[in-house]
């Protein structure tokens, strides 16, 4: 029997914010199809909705999106 795959919060956050962590959009285009990119964007929006109103989480999300901060991405996962 195959075990179900479980993703950690860190893996989910990394996936959702991949486009902000990549150095250029060309790399992202090589890795994902357009459908996957749309799903990742939807996931990122869901994370924002869930964490909206929590100042520390919001500042971490902004840092990930603007600076590509891996450290702040870890804070989002927590």
Q: Whole-prediction pTM value? A: 0.57
CA distance linking residue 47 with residue 17, whole number of Å: 10
The predicted model gives 13-38 an average pLDDT of 68
Question: What b/e readout covers 42-60, taking b as 16+ CB neighbours within 10 angstroms?
Answer: eebeebeeeeeeeeebeeb
Q: How much is the pLDDT for 18?
A: 72
CA distance linking residue 69 with residue 21, whole number of Å: 7
Q: How much is the pLDDT for 2?
A: 44
Choose among 59, 60, 58: nearest CA to 75.
60
Residue in this structure with the two tokens 């150095």, named with its chain if needed: 23
Choose among 1, 26, 41, 17: nearest CA to 9.
17
The predicted model gives 14-20 an average pLDDT of 73
Average per-residue pLDDT for the chain: 76
């Amino acid at each position: 029997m195959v075990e179900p795959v479980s993703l950690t919060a860190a893996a989910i956050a990394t996936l959702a914010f991949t486009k902000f962590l990549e150095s250029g959009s060309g790399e992202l285009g090589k890795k994902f199809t357009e459908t996957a990119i749309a799903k990742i964007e939807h996931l990122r929006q869901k994370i924002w909705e869930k964490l909206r109103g929590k100042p520390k989480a919001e500042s971490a999300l902004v840092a990930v999106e603007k600076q590509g901060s891996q450290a702040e991405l870890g804070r989002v996962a927590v």
